Copies of this chain bind each other. A is one copy, B any other.
C-alpha cells in the first residue's frame, strides 16, 4: 500500500519513441529517487506511451520544486503531459448522492477505516435522508434540492460548493441526476460515476428493469469518468454477478448493489493512487 510512507508519483504520457524510459529513469536516479513501483504501457495502435513512477519522497536529494523545474526540460523534449503528486497532501474528495445509501456508506466506511487515502470534504445530496449517516462521520452535508422544472440553479449551487471545497475529485455515488454538459467539461477526468449496468448494455435509465426483461444471466456495474455523452465516458472498472430465473427485478437491484459499491470503490482507489490514465475515450489502469 502506498500510504505506508510518503511517496511522490510522477505520471506522464507522450508519443512513443526509443529512450523515454531511459530518460525518465535516468532523471529519477540522478535525484537519488528510490523506485517503489514503475508502470509502463505503450499503445501499439495510437503510438502513445504512458508511465507511472512511485518514488520514496525522502530518498530524493532535491526539493519537489527543484524536481519539477528540472523535469520540465525532460518533459518538453518528449512532448509529455505530466504531473508530480505529493501524497503528503491528501486529495480532497466531494461525494454526490441521492436517496440510495449503499455506495455512499461503503465509501464512508472505507475512508473511516483509513483504507482510502483522501479527505472527504463534504457530501452533497438532493435528498435529506442520508444526512445523519454523513454527519455521524463528522463530514459536512449539503442538501441541494433539484427542481424538475428548473435544475440550473441547483447545479450552480453544487458547483459552488465543490469549488469552495477545492475538490480534486468528485464522486457520483449513485447520484440520480444528469450532470449538465458544461459541468462535465469543467471537471473532466476528475468526476467519477457508477452506472448500474455492464456498459454498453442497458445505457440510460432503469438498467435492472431492462436486464430483467432481457433475461441476462449476469448483471454488472461500470465506473467511468463523466463526459458530456451520457454513460459513454472512459471506463475505469467493471464487474458482474451471476443471476438466474429465480431472481425478480428487486433481486437484481439488491445483488447489483454489491457489485456497484465494489466497482466504485476499486475505481476510486485506483484514481486516488494515480493509477488511471485517460487515453482518448478509454483508460490505462496500472493496477
CB distance from A41 to the nearest CB of B (A): 6
Question: Is A250 part of the binding interface, using a Cβ–Cβ cutoff of 8 Å?
Answer: yes
Q: How far is the CA of A133 from the CA of B137 in the complex (A)?
A: 10
- A28 contacts across to B, CB distance below 8 A: 21-22
Question: Is A77 part of the binding interface, using a Cβ–Cβ cutoff of 8 Å?
Answer: no
Decide: B240 and A218 in contact? CB cutoff 8 A: yes
Interface size on A, residues (CB 8 A): 70
- A19 contacts across to B, CB distance below 8 A: 29
Question: Is A217 part of the binding interface, using a Cβ–Cβ cutoff of 8 Å?
Answer: yes
Cβ < 8 Å to B, chain A residues 218-235: 218, 220, 234-235
Question: Is A62 part of the binding interface, using a Cβ–Cβ cutoff of 8 Å?
Answer: no
CB distance from A172 to the nearest CB of B (A): 18
CB distance from A51 to the nearest CB of B (A): 9
Task: Identify the closest chain B residue to A51 (Cβ).
Answer: B38
Question: Is A25 part of the binding interface, using a Cβ–Cβ cutoff of 8 Å?
Answer: yes
Decide: B41 and A215 in contact? CB cutoff 8 A: no
Q: List 22 A-B contacts (CB under 8 A).
A: A18-B32, A18-B33, A18-B34, A18-B35, A19-B29, A21-B29, A35-B42, A39-B40, A41-B245, A102-B113, A105-B105, A132-B136, A133-B136, A199-B201, A199-B214, A200-B202, A214-B235, A214-B281, A217-B235, A217-B237, A217-B238, A245-B283
Q: A33-B18, A201-B198 are in contact. Are A40 and B38 (CB under 8 A)?
A: yes
Question: Is A181 part of the binding interface, using a Cβ–Cβ cutoff of 8 Å?
Answer: no
CB distance from A202 to the nearest CB of B (A): 8
